[in-house]
Structure 1
Amino acid sequence: MPRPARTAPADVTARLRDAITRGQLMPNERLVEADLAATYGVNRAHIRTALAMLDQEGLVVREKNRGARVRAISDAEAIEIAETRLAIEVMVARQAAERITDAGKKALRAIEADLKRAVKDADDLAYSRCNGALHREIQRIAGNGTATRILSTLRTHLLRLQFRVILFPGRPQSSLAEHHAIVDAICRGDGARAEAAMRKHLTSFMALLKQAIESSRHGGF
């Protein structure tokens, strides 16, 4: 009789990362190994390994004799992350336009179609996945390894910020239009337009993020 599949530490790490990203585990929430082991159906060693990995990613803080907790991102750090992303991704968009191929165009258009479907279905989770996939494909096309590595280290933090912004009424629709402008410019090989479109998109994201931060200070978000 075959044994049931065992859950690998990487799977637990991914599930915990997703829970933190989507706000199911809140900033500064204590992460009790025994409770998490019961929730995810694994042993405490798996949880310990996952927490160590998430600590390295900056999502979890482990303190001696106090256990672990979800790392909170300060308002100032959230803005810094968004500003850093903007500075890098406008360059990446221009480089993608300069290096676009027919295969790259096809990939971008396919992801854009998935993004449209997610917005039409009001599926926030699918929207987030497609949004991330589109930005990663642009990075792949650009072929800037240094930029990709930096953005990779910020990715999970950016997802946490994105889930704050996506709650604004009309944001998925406006974001879809902004992404269309980016994709269209890249597919046309117009570096200046691609850079401008990405700047507009991420400037809009930052403006909404600042609104979310201000609202949270007054108990509204």
Structure 2
Amino acid sequence: MPTHEQTTDAEHIDITAAIRKAIVQGDFAPNQRLVEADLSEQFGVSRGGVRAALFELTNEGLVERIQHRGARVRAVTLDEAIEISEVRMVVEGLCAAKAAEHVSDEQIAELRGIEEAMRTAVADGHVVRYSELNKALHGRIIEISGQHTAAEVLRRLRAQNVRHQFRLALVPGRPNVSLAEHLAIIDAICGRAPDAAERAARAHLTSVIKALRAVPA
């Protein structure tokens, strides 16, 4: 068993993922203090494991450490969210183009399945379900692209931006706009058209940036 100051590799991975998930889902609010003793009790792990997890999440930009005050959930400003989306626009454009080059017949069928599920979610007004499918689609495109470095960059960027993304999904009419943009990306990838896929991905993120700027504070 790990001691108060020791942690196993498995525990470190699990607690890091658990705290990351809690932050991303909004269980921990922006600027909320993250106390090692409380987290240790909440998740049933050693304080050493919590400390290591908070250090890793600080590197990911989800947590920040304030001198003499400990750790807290980092609040991402709207300006930062826009900058993150601008970087995503470039990297996800690359991934979409590469996915169009590498996509297999089986993967095309899978993307079409996601497309149909997204259509249904929007038609039924299931915002949370659509948001989940949105995330799944972006993740699958990155996987198909085979761009491992881009995947790591995007994982961190999307985690930092998730609250703004979800807030955007709640804007009336936004899911319908987003759906059309995602369908264009899927069509281009399934058509094995790299240039069109990159343009569609960049157009989608350009739309996201424009919508973020328009969302009331």
Counterpart CA distance in 2 for 1:17 and 1:46 is 14
- Aligned CA distance change for structure 1 residues 172 and 40 (closer, same or farther; 3 Å): farther
Moved over 6 A (4+): none
146-155 or 131-140: bigger deviation: 146-155
CA contact (8 A) 2:185 2:201 kept: yes
Q: SS of 1:72's equivalent? A: coil
Once the two structures are superposed, the pairs formed by residues 38-117 of structure 1 within 5 Å of their partners are: 38-117=41-120
- Among 23, 28, 42, the alignment partner of 1:25 is 28
Counterpart CA distance in 1 for 2:107 and 2:144 is 7
Structure 1 residue 150 and structure 2 residue 153: aligned?
yes
Q: CA deviation at 1:68?
A: 0.8
Structure 1 residue 128 and structure 2 residue 128: aligned?
no
Gaps in structure 2 of 5+ consecutive residues: 1-9
Gaps in structure 1 of 5+ consecutive residues: 1-6, 217-221
> 1:34-53 deviations in whole A, cap 9, x for unaligned?
33344445454443333222
Counterpart CA distance in 1 for 2:152 and 2:43 is 30
Structure 1 residue 187 and structure 2 residue 193: aligned?
no
Counterpart CA distance in 2 for 1:72 and 1:203 is 23
> 1:51-99 deviations in whole A, cap 9, x for unaligned?
2221121111123431111112233322211101001212222222222
Q: SS of 1:91's equivalent? A: helix
Letter in 1 for 2:117: D
- Aligned CA distance change for structure 1 residues 15 and 149 (closer, same or farther; 3 Å): closer
88-97 or 40-49: bigger deviation: 40-49
CA contact (8 A) 1:61 1:68 kept: yes
Q: CA deviation at 1:120?
A: 4.2
Percent identity, aligned pairs only, is 47
46-55 or 117-126: bigger deviation: 117-126
Match of 1:204 in 2: 207
TM (norm. structure 2) is: 0.82
Letter in 1 for 2:169: I
CA contact (8 A) 2:97 2:194 kept: yes
> 1:172-201 deviations in whole A, cap 9, x for unaligned?
222122111110111112223222222221
Structure 1 residue 141 and structure 2 residue 163: aligned?
no
Structure 1 residue 165 and structure 2 residue 164: aligned?
no
Letter in 2 for 1:10: I
- Aligned CA distance change for structure 1 residues 121 and 16 (closer, same or farther; 3 Å): farther
TM (norm. structure 1) is: 0.81
CA contact (8 A) 1:22 1:163 kept: no
CA contact (8 A) 1:119 1:127 kept: yes
RMSD in angstroms over aligned alpha carbons? 2.4
